[in-house]
Structure 1
Amino acid sequence: TAQDFSQCGTCAVVGNSGRLKGSKYGKKIDSHHFVLRMNTAQTAGFEEDVGTRTTHHFMYPESAVNLHAGVHLVLVPFKPLDLKWLASAFSSGEIKRTYQRVKPFIEADKSKVLILNPAFLKYIHDKWMKRFGRYPSTGFASLLFAIHTCKQVSAFGFGADSRGNWHHYWEKNRYAGAFRRTGVHNATFELALIEKLAVEGRISFYK
């Protein structure tokens, strides 16, 4: 709950940027009370750079992954069907497709499911992003959630790598840039906001 966060203090929000590769931030990330990851984030094979712990995993149907026991599944609902998928994924498995194929069933701790209020996403889009992009990325939504609920927030794995490529730390393709090409999220604007928050002392941003 939000009360748990505010009492316990430190949160690490771990983005999926390729800039994490070779960072050796793993131990620092794991030292936080809460570790927030998102979408298809992987830790196996990358522990030295990204850590091993996850307490909250933010996802939507198209980015869903199975979770270990004890990890909170945090649904980021971008459309009404996402809520129906969550119920289906824990029961009948009837929803197998949204705008693309999705996992019909998910392995996760039912007692630890949280759903981000759609009004919170609208608030981020309107007040923070000034409506840049179609809606905020899962990573930025996770970071804003942490800022509103944790005493101290550290952000890792946001932005392009040292060569200017926007890709995930587990990907091999050097020129990946799907995050920027889709036009759904405004990656440059989000990164500028994160850097502004760091300058203002609202977060610690590990590049």
Structure 2
Amino acid sequence: GAIIKGFEEDVGSRTTHYTFSTNTLINSMRSYAGSGYRGPPVSKETRYVFLPDHDRDYLLMKAAATHTLVERGPERAKDPTKYFGADVSAKKLKMYHPDFVRYLRNRFLRSGALKTRFKDIYRPSTGATMLLAALHTCDQVSAYGFMTPDYKNYSDHYFDSTY
């Protein structure tokens, strides 16, 4: 989850594209609530980009697009406007094509995990998928601070007070 409030000088105050899986969204809301994360940013310009790694993603996207409650699964009976705001529409919802994610996993970011018992649940991180999608589609991409040679000297999150 991206905590923006209080960090606008570092991360800006606009979010045009918010990439997540339903699992990472729910886990972030639980794990980072104490740090101020309340869910995805809600604005007229924000597009919500689902990273499909479970049927939960399709169920939440369908519910958001149709303004209905999630029909089954762990989010059953949840109201998607809680996450995306009352004016969410199909136009604001996007999803990475599963074949693109498979391509990233199998060809672009091949991992030793694919030779283990975890091969069926391994996927590139949300951030890596987002960055590589941008590199595949945009004329210019700025990945300032994404990864540096001395990354071990820094915290995992800009909002971490200790590391």
Q: Verify same fold: TM over 0.5.
A: yes
Per the alignment, residue 59 of structure 2 pairs with 84
Pairs aligned (count): 132
SS in 2 for 1:152: coil
Q: Going by fraction, where is helix more abundant, 1 or 2?
A: 2
Q: CA 1:157 to 1:94, structure 2 compared with 1: closer, same or farther past 3 Å? A: farther
1:58 touches 1:74 (CA, 8 Å); kept in 2? yes
2:11 is aligned with 1:50:
yes
2:52 touches 2:98 (CA, 8 Å); kept in 1? yes
2:137 is aligned with 1:149:
yes
In the alignment, which of 70, 75, 90 is matched to residue 93 of structure 1? 70
In the alignment, which of 129, 149, 156 is matched to residue 109 of structure 2? 129
Aligned runs of 1:187-206 on 2, under 5 Å?
A: none
Per the alignment, residue 159 of structure 2 pairs with 170
Alpha carbon RMSD of aligned pairs, Å?
Answer: 2.6
TM-score calculated relative to the size of structure 2: 0.68
Which whole-Å CA distance do the structure 2 matches of 1:74 and 1:61 have between them? 10
Per the alignment, residue 68 of structure 1 pairs with 43
Per the alignment, residue 185 of structure 1 pairs with none
Q: Identity of aligned pairs, percent? A: 32
Letter in 2 for 1:164: N
Give the unaligned 5+ runs of structure 1. Answer: 1-39, 175-207
Shift in Å, 1:93: 3.4
SS in 1 for 2:5: coil
More relative contact order, 1 or 2 (CA 8 Å, 6+ apart): 1
